Structure 1
Amino acid sequence: MWNGDALDLDAYLAHLGYEGDRSPTLETLRALHRAHVLNVRWENLDAVLRGDVPLDLGALRRKMIGNARGGYCFEHASLYAAALERLGFTFFAVLGRIRMGAPKMLPTTHAMLVVDIDGRRWLCDVGFGASPLEPIEMTAEGAEATDGVWTYRLRRGEVTPGAQGWTLYQPADEGQKDETGDGWMARHTFTLDPQYPVDFAMANHFIATSSHSPFSYRPFVQRVHPDRLHLLDNRTLITSRPGEKPEVRELEPREVPKVLSDVFGVDLTPDDAALLVTKLA
């Protein structure tokens, strides 16, 4: 279903720097998840520059494997699904609603995978940008997960009127909405209705082309490290570290291509760099 048979698995794992076991175990999933988040770039520049983000595996391979480019959640989840399918994991895809303090309900435009291993279920959210470095176990009583630096809370409950599902929380920074009363902000919600490549294609079309989607006209680039997160929101460069006040800098349009390369590891062709500078100006 996810075209795992067409994936060059060796090239994908080499891009991740992954040399570990390939059996479909929890240890493999954890190591693969972390390697993907840290080594496959996150950006929406094709949507901004061209209004077109292909999800076929050939396009994903050319752009995201062995190349200094990346993608957003639909690209990441599609590529990761192909790898999990090739490795023999049991999983299904879901779509979530981004919250992040939004004052109204947003559509289901965030792609994730849910993996079943030995009777336990794990959320793999590799395409958020500021993604968890490891999968998070989905338990009836909820879970708090940390990799030693970044911390998350996953809770089950009503996510939209009449619909039970899951909410992933992150610590609320200064000025962000504390939705739990003890310092947590909802990142996104989702239900366990299985989604398929055709569902990804429809939601992806909205994200890449609609004037109602900020991703269609506004550059977002993120890179997470074990100890910090870099975020480019249009021309605002933000560096965050847990427990510290974010560092914020406004960039001139002409600075952005170099920052993309130096900070995010995203290299544009000269033509694309010039087009981006023009759009930013």
Structure 2
Amino acid sequence: MSIEIAHPRRGPGYGWNSELLDLDAYLDRIGYRGDRAPTAETLRALHLAHIAAIPFENLEVVFGRPVDLDLGSVQDKLVRRPRGGYCYEHVGLFAAVLERLGYTITGLLSRVVMDSDRLIPATHSLLLVEASGTRWICDVGLGCGPLGPIEFADGAQDTEGGWTNRLHEVSGTGEWEVQRWTGERWMVLHRFTTNPAYTIDHRVGNHYIATHPRSPFSGDLHAMRIGPGFLHTLDGTVLTTTRPDGAVDKRRLAASEVPGVLAKQFDVVLDTDDSAALVAYLEP
């Protein structure tokens, strides 16, 4: 079945500010030394390298600081410092990279449901990318994968590092699901439509995520790091490691342990002041 998608508009405000990107610094940050031609092979390599190098975290919200989405601020935080960010930061950066390299990209918004039946705001950002005559869903900002792009087709799958994800078109709704195989069943991670989204939509969603009292990120620390065979998540002081077969190891940390765990297992390194502030925030 052919899915028609409105092509993103052109003009001021509709692009990803790639002229402001320090491409060489970004590629050095993710350890990429390969081809820069806008092919599916390059796209996959960049996607894998980005997720491996730059973690998911919401520490600016925890510290009560604004999350700036201008490309200069995002590059300073995610590229030049040993930090991570959440979806709008990741996707804005990755979109600028792909735009600079010559890909045709469309921003999308999604509802992160994690198997819930509740109606969740569409505050997750992802990309639809055209490469080598095929369209791909790229989801570098979810924190828990997918590790690689997924072809934009009903039932298409990607398996990398033991993790298997697929796309499912929800009949009659106009929605698509990103699903993960848990070892026993397909779990719905999030649902999206193909309506184009732009940087201004990111700003609106970012305001909700960073400030609204019902936002999942405004009340506690969250960090995620996924790789071959593991998914580390830190929710407050609870550290969980999940394996592709569904095995789970969970333990509660002392507040004083958290900065060290962030550095060792998530590659998020805080300075002395931020470490002290985080410990104070997490202490009972």
TM-score, normalised via structure 1 length? 0.92
TM superposition shift of 1:270 = 1.3
Match of 2:178 in 1: 168
Match of 1:154 in 2: 167
TM superposition shift of 1:272 = 1.1
Contact 2:87–2:141 (8 Å) recurs in 1: yes
From 85, 90, 107, the equivalent of 1:71 is 85
Contact 1:51–1:216 (8 Å) recurs in 2: no
TM superposition shift of 1:171 = 2.2
For 2:62 and 2:86, the matched residues in 1 are separated by 12
From 150, 156, 161, the equivalent of 1:143 is 156
Match of 2:185 in 1: 183
1:108 and 2:118 aligned: no
Write the deviation string for residues 89-146 of structure 1: whole angstroms up to 9, x where unpaired. Answer: 001100000111224110001100000124321000000111112100011x421221
Match of 2:20 in 1: 6
For 1:117 and 1:80, the matched residues in 2 are separated by 15
For 2:138 and 2:54, the matched residues in 1 are separated by 15
For 2:132 and 2:77, the matched residues in 1 are separated by 34
SS of the aligned residue for 1:213 comes to: coil
From 268, 271, 274, the equivalent of 1:269 is 271
SS of the aligned residue for 2:148 comes to: coil
For 2:109 and 2:83, the matched residues in 1 are separated by 24
SS of the aligned residue for 1:71 comes to: coil
Write the deviation string for residues 53-85 of structure 1: whole angstroms up to 9, x where unpaired. Answer: 110011011101131101010000000001001
For 2:216 and 2:192, the matched residues in 1 are separated by 21
1:46 and 2:56 aligned: no
From 125, 130, 136, the equivalent of 1:122 is 136
Match of 1:176 in 2: none
Write the deviation string for residues 191-248 of structure 1: whole angstroms up to 9, x where unpaired. Answer: 0000000000000110011111120121111111212111101110011112152111
From 6, 28, 41, the equivalent of 1:27 is 41
1:96 and 2:106 aligned: no
Cα RMSD of the aligned pairs, angstroms, is 1.4
Which runs of 5 or more residues in structure 1 are unaligned? 174-181
Contact 1:51–1:209 (8 Å) recurs in 2: no
Contact 2:43–2:131 (8 Å) recurs in 1: no
- Quick one: which amino acid aligns to residue 122 of structure 1? W
Change over 3 Å in CA distance of 1:255–1:148 after alignment to 2? closer
TM-score, normalised via structure 2 length? 0.91
SS of the aligned residue for 2:174 comes to: strand
SS of the aligned residue for 1:112 comes to: strand
From 200, 204, 207, the equivalent of 1:205 is 207
Question: How many residue pairs were aligned?
Answer: 269
Match of 1:60 in 2: 74
Moved beyond 3 Å, runs of 4+: none
TM superposition shift of 1:42 = 1.2
For 2:57 and 2:93, the matched residues in 1 are separated by 15
